[in-house]
Amino acid sequence: MDVIKNVLNSEIDRINHQEGRDGKPRINAEFFVNHPWLCLAMLVGYIAVGIVMYVSPYMGIGWFIGFTAFLVFMSAMLLLEIKPVYRYEDIGVLDLRVCYNGEWYFSRELSADAVQQILSAGSVSARIKNRIESIVIHKGFVDFYDVYDLARLEQQHLPDPTGTAQLAH
């Protein structure tokens, strides 16, 4: 099922490029634009806590500097945005990568061009093509996992080309 893997890989590359998915952390200033009053309220709260820390006899400038450094660090961490890179190898894998990437392969649909490439490929079996057409008719689209699962199931039903049998362990 090299054709299906190649189509899925090219579709994943297209999505990664189109959405700027490179796995690198960036500061997302969208919060400041969308919630200016909340940012102002947080600044007022910071000033109020700073005044209390300054006038308290058991806290001094050292505590205030530490509080400010902690606040700046936490604000920077909360504003970080990472767009994870989608990979073919992550489809159907349930491990810690799901926490980072999510199960994107269930919610992302294949483009009409990718579906057409699979349907017009001569090396893809009629069974897979019919099942993809059925999924499109019933669901309205086909997602990455649908195609991946169909190809995986087809691969399991193929006879062993070497003519050898393997024992289960």
What is the Cα–Cα distance from 148 to 10, expressed in whole angstroms? 14
Any idea what DSSP says for residue 26? Answer: E
Angle formed by the axes of helices 126-139 and 144-157, to 10°? 150
Nearest to 53 by CA among 43, 45, 63, 44: 63
Are residues 128 and 150 in contact, defined by beta-carbon separation less than 8 angstroms?
Answer: yes
1-46 pLDDT, tens digit each: 588 888 889 999 999 999 988 889 888 888 888 888 988 998 899 8
Q: Is the pTM of this model over 0.85?
A: no
For the stretch 51-107, pLDDT in tens is 888 888 887 788 888 888 988 898 888 888 888 888 888 887 776 766 767 788 888
Positive or negative, the Cα torsion across 137, 138, 143, 146? negative
Q: Are 148 and 92 in contact (CB under 8 A)?
A: yes
- The letter for the amino acid at 23 is G
